Amino acid sequence: MNALNRCTSLPGRVSRILMLGLICVVVTLAGCADAETGDEPMEDDVEAAENLSALDSEFVQVPFENAFARVYRIDLPPGDSIAPHDGGPRVVYSTSTYALQFETNGEASERSFESGAVHAHEAGVHTVFNRGDSLASYVVFERISGVDSVGPGDASTLDGVDIPEGTSHEVVLTNDAFTVHKISLAPGDALAEHFGFDRVVYALSDYTVTLTDPEDGSSMERSYEAGDVHDHEAGLHRVENTGSTTADYLVVAFKP
């Protein structure tokens, strides 16, 4: 190659070098922009955990688990998120007022919840983001297996018994997997003998009740504090408030 050719090809090489440098700068700036916005990866970019407990998240506690149910207590601060996770059908009880964004199958949606609200989620994978400015506190009742197909037979269910005047009972949610009852049982009042499916009970207040098994006549007195969780097997029982405070509690019944 003569001197003239070498000179005329030099500008081309310089142009190519400058172009490569410009591309590198653009890519770097794009990466910085993503970091500054704090955008979380989409569900498709991250393998979903088997369930909430498998995430080992600082925002998730598991206060209760049995053969058919797992209960989670969530406290998600503003600006934080819970990574993609799978789960069975679940009921959610809100213990604060908050707004959340959900990503399910790559589609985003936003919902607001008042303290005391109850809603359900179908089984599947989703990601949760707290885009609001308040702590999102809620309790999740997840179905992790089937339950025994015990039915009421000729017995009355809770919906069919008389409720004392000072007491209230409300079915706040029902679907193919759950029925959720909210009970407010005044001191001295009792819920007559009735049948209940396998269920998890969440205490909304501090109270003392006596549970009686009508089949053998045995009774036991139990005291609970707000936030306590316990379960009952399917069957008949009678509940009496033998304490001095109103017994407020949520019954999450798992249908066969």
| Per-residue pLDDT tens digits for 92-130 | 999 999 999 999 877 899 999 999 999 999 999 999 999
- Residue 51 tokens, joined: 């369930």
Task: Provide the domain count of the chain.
Answer: 2
**139 DSSP β-pair partners:** 73, 93
Cα 134 to Cα 80: distance, rounded to the nearest angstrom: 11
Identify whether 133 is part of a domain: yes
Report CA Rg, the chain.
Answer: 28
Residue with the larger pLDDT of the pair 250 and 19? 250
% of the chain with per-residue pLDDT over 90:
73
Is it the case that residue 248 has pLDDT exceeding 80?
yes
pTM of the predicted protein model: 0.81
Last residue of a domain, one of 109, 143, 177: 143
| Same structural domain, 166 and 133 | no
Cα 92 to Cα 142: distance, rounded to the nearest angstrom: 9
Buried b (16+ CB within 10 A) or exposed e, 218-252: eeeeeebeeebbebbebebbbbbbbbeebbbbbbb
Full domain range(s) for residue 247: 158-254
- Residue 115 tokens, joined: 């303290």
Beta strands, E only, 66-145? 69-76, 81-85, 90-94, 98-104, 107-113, 118-121, 126-129, 136-143
The pLDDT of residue 105 is 78
Summarised one tens digit per residue, pLDDT across range 48-99 is 999 999 999 999 999 999 999 999 999 999 999 999 999 999 999 999 999 9
Identify whether 16 is part of a domain: no
Token pair 């004392």: residue: 164
Last residue of a domain, one of 108, 143, 178: 143
